[in-house]
Structure 1
Amino acid sequence: MSTLLVIAKEPRPGRVKTRLTPPFTPEEAAALAEAALADTLAAVAATPADRRVLVLDGAPGPWLPPGFDVVPQVPGGLDERLAAAFAGCDGGPALLVGMDTPQVTPELLTVDFADCDAYFGPAEDGGFWALGLAAPDPALLRGVPMSTPVTGAAQRARLAGAGLRVRELPRLRDVDTAADAGAVAAEAPHGRFAAALTRLTTPMTTTATTATTAR
């Protein structure tokens, strides 16, 4: 049985995408987070899987499509929360992604463990956007330093140290800053995230142009 996992926070102002503030307000940052999550969930929903699970910090909202089981994140650091997400997969193959890469596609998420034990998707900021395990073992994540420039390297080394055959996924850019948001929207211009960014930044552009013209 194959499982697709999405680990996410409820997109509430002040709790998500705080590095987008400024230039965006907490409400705008939350709107961008919701759009990113909606794009990610749509890609997961369109990817073949036996089970789709949203591992959520918070409560589900209207952005959640049908077909997902929702389980709460456990307390503790991110390594513990990721480990617990894999522990709930009953030992079957699983691929986990976050909510920070709305440019993901079903093609990227369709993996085959026939000739490997793990999939690893590095992120440009030094972390990772995807981790797939043919036989999920929470010990492969516990103790890995999270949210650092070496998180990806440490997690990749943990997989290699366990003797796993690892297949690399393409390197993607997480949405953390306003610059990231613009770059990711350009990669997926037809998604909800790109539309939300355009909606929020067009007034800024118009105001700036008007001010320049007035001078």
Structure 2
Amino acid sequence: MSKIVRKTFAENVALKLEELGRTFRSDTQRTTYCRAIVSDLFQIMFDRLCDGERVRIRGMGLLRVLEKSERPGRNPKDPDQNIMIPARRSVSFTKTSVLSRQAEESTDSRESAITPLMIEVLERDYGIREKNARLVISAFWEPFQWLRSDRWIEVRGFGRFKMVEVPKKVRNPRSGESLGVKKVAFISFKMSEAMDKKLNRW
């Protein structure tokens, strides 16, 4: 199994910048410059989520904050002891393929218009003009689409995306007859400790 990490995103951004004519004095400058861009773009996503906004990852799906109310539970160390699990916030991911067309085209006020924010940072802090900034952002989104069951995405300080395959019984919708079992893939997201701390103020 292999991981897609910040370095992977930075390399893809570097290749796009070089395609657009950007030159670097050294490999060190190339690495530092592109990693800084990637860090800034992930920071925009991090900040928007922590503000309670939805963040759409192009070609992949939607990240959103869920509010979990206080609820009763049991002490894992002492199953006979009832406890109250405190309210907390977590981040959920929904694949694009399971979003309805209406949801895809909606203008939910909680969904962050993240591309303009990214363009602004690339123009202001890196001197990349809007047309090229859009291409750089597309290069930044691309590695998200490389996610596979044997390759996950782990971005330190942000979170981990993992594709999980689970067996599902398939039945004929008319007769109810069993058609066997097939594997269904879904993507899970586990937020980083830093995001957890920011969302839940601990």
TM over 0.5: no
- Select the structure of larger CA radius of gyration: 2
Q: TM-score, normalised on structure 1?
A: 0.25
Give 1 or 2: higher strand fraction. Answer: 2
